[in-house]
Amino acid sequence: MSVVSDADKSKRIQQTFVEFNESWLVYWDAYIDLQNQLYDSLKAARDVTWLGATDSAKMSEINAAQRQLFSTMPRRLDYVPLGQINRSMDYALSKINELLSALFSEKEKCKRLETAIDILTEKANRTKQELQTEE
């Protein structure tokens, strides 16, 4: 039977957090890349919707609908310095469980986004095809 010293256990936990922080930075980079791409795609799709305005009434309708949509868009995160940190094991485990739950939900929402991307791509290709047959 092996006895693990407190120092060894502490060193293992520290190493685990170093690895976690490294993975968090990889996640952060991927998140920022995706968020920036989503904004670019949203802007491009918004510009295409304007092409459907056949007269000033339709333009006003599209403008009102987009204003409503953009008003519901969440802001990007602002940095907030950490406050008091509770370093108890129970608190740490609850925070890890919150993270795991959020990541599961995020993965499900990414699947929904993939479906929406497929639909929008199909409609963009169909619109492009219709415009090309007009020429």
Determine the straight-line distance between the first and last CA of the chain, rounded to whole angstroms: 80
CB 46 within 8 Å of CB 66: yes
Overall size of the chain counted in residues: 135
**Number of structural domains in the chain:** 2
Whole-prediction pTM value?
Answer: 0.76
From the centroid of its chain, how far is CA 81? 22
> Coil, strand, or helix at residue 86?
coil
Mean pLDDT of 21-28: 96
- Tell whether 80 is covered by a domain: no
For residue 74, the model assigns a pLDDT of 79
Q: What totals of helices (H) and strands (E) does the chain contain, helices first?
A: 3, 0
93 and 69 share a domain?
no
What's the whole-number average pLDDT of the chain?
A: 89
Burial 57-71 (b: 16+ CB within 10 A, else e): eeeeebeeeeeeeee
Measured between alpha carbons, how far is 110 from 123 in angstroms, rounded to an integer?
Answer: 20
Are residues 7 and 64 both part of a single domain?
yes
62, 53 Cβ separation under 8 angstroms: yes
What confidence category does residue 134 fall into, taking pLDDT thresholds of 50, 70 and 90? confident
Confidence category of residue 2, pLDDT binned at 50, 70, 90: low
> Dihedral of CA 116/118/124/130: which sign?
negative
pLDDT in tens, 47-101: 898 888 888 898 899 989 989 988 888 777 777 777 777 778 888 899 999 999 9
pLDDT at 90: 86
One domain for residues 52 and 99: no
Q: Is the residue at 8 inside a domain?
A: yes
Enclosing domain of residue 104: 87-135
